[in-house]
Structure 1
Amino acid sequence: LSVASASRKPLSAEELAERARKKLEADATRMLKAQEAKARRTAAKLEKRKAKWNAVGYQSRSVYANVESPDENTPAEDPTEWTTAIDDADVGGLVEENTSGSCPPGIYYKSGDAAEPLTKFDALNESNGQYTPVFVCACVDDSGGWGTRGFFGALSRRTNVPSMVYELAGTMDDLELGQCHLVPVFDPSEGDGEQSGVSTFGDWLLTRDSNSPDNPIRANFCALLVAQQHSRRSQSKGDPPDLQLDALDSALSALSKACRAVKQCSVHLPRLGHGTHAFTWYSVERLLRKHLVERGHVPVYVYP
């Protein structure tokens, strides 16, 4: 072998360049074929899922899927449609009184049960007297298995609608990282909103804007932010799945767009991701401020 190697003619610069070119072409071809195969698998999966949904009449509660976050200086909506910005919009603090979305945009820390506002339907805008919906957020994983402790238990004690919708979404393969599922919860004194053809956030918007803008169906929304990935490791240890900030970023971007569509609302949540591995509230708070305060122009109430 050493003799053969010694007698082998070294490649010229042109031959080396040609070899490198062919290698690049082969790598590009393999990458293209891999991308095409992935696209075919994705298309087949979507078709299979669509057929599954159509067979049972399933409607996804996921909103504004695949919405790209706008640049910091680029509003996602017409600024004239937003609530007027306030100089002290970044100022948050401790609040004790019940809030109805009339506070300036900001992050406020409040004692109490973060699930409670979901079933309160008395929030009215001080300027026009119109009902102001509430968004109550919960971080979920992509398993479809609803918990019984902590904030999940608190939500279930108020209403079983979010857990039912979430578990059905898991059965229908409708839980992907970065999604935001908005689950409407209706005022029981006004009957079931689904009897009026309102079962999704989009239905509620159409009803409010088209049929009765001055007297919309009263509904609050449980925002299920799919920002955790179920894994055998976390399941075996009994630990919650790690909070994935990129997925939370996408989910909050979708929620921000929903808040801008409503125009007047408030957001309530526990400390998202608390108790997960390597949790840092500062990172979560930055995302809340970016999407909900600066872009959504809504007050955010955090229940420690």
Structure 2
Amino acid sequence: MYFFEGIDYSKDPSSEDQKSFDRMLEEQMAEFQKAAGEGRALRHKAGFSLSVAFALPARKRKPLTEAELELRQQRRQEAAAKKAKMIEDKKKQEQEERQRKKMAWWESCGYRSLCLQPVDSEEEGQDEEDDSSVCSTDSNSTDIHYVLGDVTHPHTARGDAIIVHCVDDSGRWGRGGLFTALEMRSDEPQKQYELAGKMKDLELGNVFLFPIDDKQSRLDGQDQLALIVAQQRDKANNLSGILLSALEEGLKKIYSAAKKNSGMEKHKTNKTCNKN
């Protein structure tokens, strides 16, 4: 690579080559001084570079030590965590603001949501402890028991019952199947569901619990309907399948509500027995 046209360029440059190189440097320096007077226009000059002008190699950075590399990584992680927290706080503030506006809108319309409250972590932990104690004493108590018959008329000897039905977030009551069967039992399901849709209260995982004894009822108990919002409809009216995360969230809320109602009924029964 050092030989070209029979000349060995690996040796010291000739006097003519040195003069040509010095002349090139003088021309580059003159061009640089002229361009420097033009201010920032120098940056937009096509093909011009300081490193090329002076024929100087770029200065290499000093390699970082292991401690410096670790410190730099730590600072990057802290900056990323800080940025993520800022984004999360901003989303939380926006969500709180939307919730505040929605509550004000509901109040102005006189709307009261029948949606069950979320189960907090402490209550959920207590439920898991109760479930484990029940399983340890009676393995049959948590088994699934299949019952044949009309789901809108629960088979129970005494006490209240909850009918569970999954709906989507469109706010449009369906036709046929369980939708029509529930209409035969009560006017409340369609009324409450469409009202919740109008008030933008049909978020995934929401559960609406209300009695359905206005058309048909039982003498020995009260039946309630729990509507779980577990499906979505897109703009093209396509219906998704049942989303298991929303279904699980809804079932937890129903379990908590049923447990509280059961406890209240036991308290009333004990109080009545004591009076007698």
TM-score (norm 2): 0.62
Aligned to 2:149: 112
Aligned with residue 226 of structure 1, among 213, 225, 229 = 229
Aligned to 2:87: 34
Structure 2 vs 1, CA of residues 109 and 230 (structure 1 numbering), >3 Å: closer, same or farther?
same
Look up the SS of the partner of 1:116 in the other structure.
coil
Provide the C-alpha distance between the structure 1 equivalents of 2:68 and 2:245, rounded to a whole number of angstroms.
45
Stretches (4+) displaced over 4 A = 3-6, 187-190
5+ residue gaps in structure 1? Answer: 91-105, 126-131, 191-214, 265-304
Is 1:52 paired with 2:92?
no
CA deviations over 1:97-128 (Å, ceiling 9, x no partner): xxxxxxxxx422233331234xx9xx653xxx
In the TM superposition, residue 242 of structure 1 has moved relative to its aligned partner by: 2.1
In the TM superposition, residue 67 of structure 1 has moved relative to its aligned partner by: 3.7
Provide the C-alpha distance between the structure 1 equivalents of 2:146 and 2:232, rounded to a whole number of angstroms.
28
In the TM superposition, residue 156 of structure 1 has moved relative to its aligned partner by: 2.4
CA deviations over 1:135-181 (Å, ceiling 9, x no partner): 11101122222221322232223323111101111221222222221
Look up the SS of the partner of 1:222 in the other structure.
strand
Report if the CA contact (8 A) 1:144-1:175 is conserved: yes
Amino acid at match of 1:158: R
Is 1:89 paired with 2:136?
no
Provide the C-alpha distance between the structure 2 equivalents of 1:66 and 1:260, rounded to a whole number of angstroms.
12
The one of the two structures with greater contact order (alpha-carbon pairs below 8 A, sep at least 6) is: 1
> Which structure's residues are more often helix, by fraction?
2
Provide the C-alpha distance between the structure 1 equivalents of 2:229 and 2:172, rounded to a whole number of angstroms.
12
5+ residue gaps in structure 2? Answer: 1-50, 264-276
Structure 2 vs 1, CA of residues 22 and 87 (structure 1 numbering), >3 Å: closer, same or farther?
closer
Is 1:243 paired with 2:242?
yes
Aligned residues: 203
CA RMSD of aligned residues (A): 3.2
Which one has a bigger Cα radius of gyration? 2
Look up the SS of the partner of 2:212 in the other structure.
strand
Percentage of pairs with the same residue: 30
In the TM superposition, residue 187 of structure 1 has moved relative to its aligned partner by: 4.4
